[in-house]
Copies of this chain bind each other. A is one copy, B any other.
């Protein structure tokens, strides 16, 4: 162990030919070690790069012995002299490939136990091991790049917003549990027996209260918490850019975000986004892509086929249309990669059925504007119109879903579209943002038999619906907007209600009577009685956006210390049992569920 050590005078990524003959000290880890008898080539690594260190055959016996004893990942300090490599030895793939450092002394700062896996980006171990030994995983080039990408991204966000008059304001993370409380993590109070704080699912109420307080433009890179069952890529704690603005309408928030992400992508990745993003109403997005988070990196737009279905002789379709249902189709282009075999069509059909489709009908486009196979025989005389609708070519495949419910028709065909996009390799590289607007304000929860807020209860209904919204909540559209990137929802926001009475009406539609609303949201309602300004905001998810920027498919890749899908951190083994004394102090007893026999 070294209390004193030879401190670096340069990093492992900084030396060039210009440093030839310079005496230097490098500190870092043994990344590679080739031992050619009396000559050692040691690749020394730190956060900044890799430098080749040479222990030559003219070195002292002592130095030779130290070199011989080195294990991969030992942490060392190398004192030596830079020498330019001869032209033939220059490694153009290394930033420091023009030089090497001839070691004069090597000090071992700390040694490395046998590695559970090799630190090698080409060889990614299973995730449980990566999480348990995250500090070793962080040493890989990939993790280092992603941690830097995240820093760069959040840093660019702060630059953009701070330059535009936004204040970053910290809001509390120990707050009151709200009625969506089912998903709240609770924190027992030791001093106030029987009472709890909750960890915030978002700073929603506080950012609105900041607007009531006149803060005008607020943002925060905020930690948020949600106690959900393990589901895909969720984390119990996650990070969002929380943002709110006063005296604005929808388009102000949208253009602020367009400016922000344009800046961030240019600064961080040198990638040009368009100055504005495409906007779809919710209905339009559903009708065109089958979903409200479309991946615009490929086409395969859906077409409404109700008219042609009615005129066909296909009883199933005709009946569905007659009953007010929907027939939609898309056209998969002829492909060299995928043959549209029966088996493949069955795979597509299975993808559709997950979302409620009864089946997937198809027809193939033949030569000379003909259609054949599948349900083509029912469309006698309609070939030309079908082909025109898709501008279809020979070898293309037209795929149909019909269902009495609009949402299920859309969602099923969207699943087919997604699978085709991937399988046919239609997805263009790059980043495609779009806005989805004009969402329904309420959704009917069949299970509970009641209306619920589609986004949250603080969003403004569009003006034309306000007077009569109780009559048919399902029809009410809200001033809601989602930001979508490459098929992921990456942000969600709205113009907020700033009127106590309107807010109470929304609570009532969502089945909170005035008393419950008062108990749970009284402080917001009180705040709203003191002249809140019109305001609105949005909350982009940092984890997911950085994940997409990094080209990854799991947010684990862009979080330094993620929990696994069971909410466990394999490194520190949290959550864990605590001492009985701690529970006593909190006045808590654990009630273990009875074991089933």
Contact = CB atoms under 8 A, between A and B. Distances in A.
B532 A181 contact: no
Contacts of A109: 498, 531, 533-534
A592 B169 contact: no
B75 A195 contact: no
A4 B463 contact: yes
Contacts of A314: none
B172 A561 contact: yes
Contact of A47 (B216, B561, B573): B216
Given A210-B560, A212-B135, A190 B576 contact: no
Given A29-B531, A210-B138, A588-B588, A167 B191 contact: no
A310 interface: no
Interface stretch (A93-101, A151-159, A253-261): A151-159
A265 interface: no
A337 interface: no
Contacts of A230: 191
A463 B523 CA distance: 57
Contacts of A567: 189, 191-192
Given A27-B247, A463-B3, A569 B229 contact: no
Interface string A16-55: 0000000000010100000000000000011110000000
Interface string A132-151: 01111111000110011011
Given A113-B529, A213-B136, A175 B574 contact: yes
Nearest to A543: B170
A87 interface: no
Interface string A183-218: 011111111111111110000011001101111110
Contact of A573 (B73, B176, B187, B566): B176
A590 B589 CA distance: 6
Contacts of A575: 174, 176, 187, 189, 192, 195-197
A170 B236 contact: no
A475 interface: no
A559 interface: yes
B1 A498 contact: yes
Contact of A155 (B46, B168, B582, B586): B168
Contacts of A560: 169-171, 206, 210
A590 B209 contact: no
A443 interface: no
Interface string A551-580: 000000001110100111101111111110
Contacts of A559: 170
B501 A249 contact: no
A286 interface: no
A589 B592 contact: no
A223 interface: yes
A173 interface: yes
Contacts of A139: 213-214
Contact of A7 (B136, B187, B247, B577): B247
B502 A172 contact: no
Contacts of A138: 210, 213-215
Contacts of A191: 229-230, 566-567
A111 interface: yes
Interface string A401-420: 00000000000000000000
Contact of A209 (B2, B8, B110, B134): B134
A301 interface: no
Given A135-B209, A194-B577, A214-B29, A589 B591 contact: yes
Nearest to A185: B187
A196 B188 CA distance: 11
A531 B47 contact: no
Pick from A154, A172, A181, A563 the residue with the most CB of B within 10 Å: A172
A195 B583 CA distance: 11
A247 B75 CA distance: 10
Nearest to A133: B530
Nearest to A45: B214
Contacts of A199: 187
Contacts of A315: none
A135 B534 contact: no
Contacts of A174: 185, 225, 236-237, 563, 574-575
A143 to B, nearest CB: 8
A284 interface: no
Contacts of A587: 590-593
21 contacts: A27-B247, A46-B214, A47-B214, A73-B531, A109-B531, A135-B527, A136-B213, A173-B223, A174-B575, A182-B585, A184-B578, A186-B187, A188-B588, A189-B567, A192-B566, A196-B575, A196-B577, A587-B590, A588-B588, A588-B590, A589-B589
Q: What are the nearest 10 A-B pairs in CB distance?
A: A138-B213, A1-B499, A195-B575, A3-B463, A112-B531, A176-B574, A47-B216, A75-B531, A135-B213, A113-B529
Given A134-B209, A177-B574, A188-B188, 18 more contacts: A4-B463, A27-B246, A46-B216, A110-B498, A110-B532, A138-B210, A151-B168, A154-B168, A174-B563, A174-B574, A175-B569, A186-B578, A191-B229, A192-B566, A192-B567, A194-B577, A196-B578, A223-B223
